[in-house]
Amino acid sequence: MHRDIERVLFSEDAIRARVTELGASITEDLSGQDVVLLALLKGSVIFFADLMRSVSSQIRVDFAWVSSYGDRTESRGTVDLKVFPDEDLGGKTVVVVDDILDTGRTLAAVVERLRQDQGVAAVKTCVLLDKAARRVIDLGADYVGFEVDDVFVVGYGLDHADRYRNLPYIGVLKADCYGGDEAS
Ligand code: 5GP
Ligand code: MG
């Protein structure tokens, strides 16, 4: 285990098993629809790569780059849609994929942006982790991997100051590693 990790919450095996289930649910629920899986960069990349291979129906993929700014481990509510797909999403069922649903601001901003796109047939949401205790906006995801308590987690794509994304498991970051003034 990495020395900055206090404890492992979800092992590689547990994540793999759950992602396989999520992929099967998406396959079953959305088959026959024209589906685009939309990854929110950067945090969802590893989850996304595994999830898309767990979906066995025909899908397309696209990417959006979204940042929420704040101090350390707390987002302050400004969501910046830096890059958004310019492909025509008309008639598509867009499944927004993110690493973690925390305050809900990020997902809400992306969903709202997609709904402004008149032609989008349906918007679904899929997150690996749901930290419900911290919700500011009343919003749930259609597909949730795991519920997590109000602790700051890293690994499997999740970062702190852009580090730890490459840990293969999800763990709680030691509190004394929160130092510095980086945005989360
Ligand atoms: P929200 O907009 O829902 O507050 O936050 C979504 C984003 O905040 C996530 O995509 C993620 O980048 C970041 N975030 C929220 N909680 C955590 C956490 O426990 N660990 C990490 N690494 N990022 C988090
Ligand atoms: Mg982040």
Say whether pLDDT at 37 is over 90.
yes
- Checking if the pLDDT of 6 tops 50, the result is yes
**Nearest ligand by distance to the CA of 108:** 1
pLDDT at 117: 84
The 8-class DSSP code of residue 156 comes to T
Which residues form the catalytic set?
Answer: 102
CA of 32 to the centre of ligand 1 (A): 32
Specify the range with the lowest mean pLDDT, choosing from 36-45, 57-66, 112-121, 151-160: 112-121
Q: Output the ligand 1 site: residues, CB below 6 A.
A: 43, 68, 75, 98-106, 131, 152-154, 158-160, 184
What is the helix (H) or strand (E) element at residue 46, kind and residue range?
Answer: helix 45-54
Position 77 in a domain = yes
Q: With a threshold of 0.95, does the pTM exceed it? A: no
Query: Is 165 contained in some domain?
Result: no
Which pLDDT score, from 0 to 100, does residue 23 have?
98
Mutate to test the pocket of ligand 1, among 102, 163, 169 (most ligand atoms within 8 A of CB): 102
Residue 128: name the closest of 150, 110, 155 by CA: 155
Q: Is residue 91 part of a domain?
A: yes
Distance from the CA of 21 to the center of ligand 2, in angstroms?
A: 25
Q: What is the tally of structural domains in the chain?
A: 1
Is there a domain that residue 120 lies in? yes
- Looking at residue 148, its pLDDT comes to 98
Answer yes or no: is 103 within a domain.
yes
Which of ligand 1's atoms lies nearest the C-alpha of 66? 10
Here the CATH number for the domain that contains residue 115 is 3.40.50.2020
Question: Looking at the domain assignment, is residue 160 inside a domain?
Answer: no
Determine, yes or no, domain membership for 143.
Answer: yes
Which pLDDT score is estimated for 183? 43
Find the 131 Cα to ligand 1 centroid distance in Å: 9
Per-residue pLDDT reduced to its tens digit, 137-149 = 999 999 999 999 9
pLDDT, one tens digit per residue, over 76-122 is 678 889 999 988 999 999 999 999 999 999 999 999 999 998 799 99
Give the domain range for residue 19: 14-148
- CB burial string 149-160: b at 16+ within 10 A, e below: eeebbbbbbbbb
Percent of the chain with pLDDT over 90: 85
Q: From the CA of 106, give the closest atom in ligand 1.
A: 2
Chain-wide mean pLDDT for the chain?
92
Chain centroid offset of residue 78 CA: 17
Ligand closest to the CA atom of residue 75 = 1
Residue 154 lies in a domain: no
Confidence of residue 178 (pLDDT cuts 50, 70, 90): confident
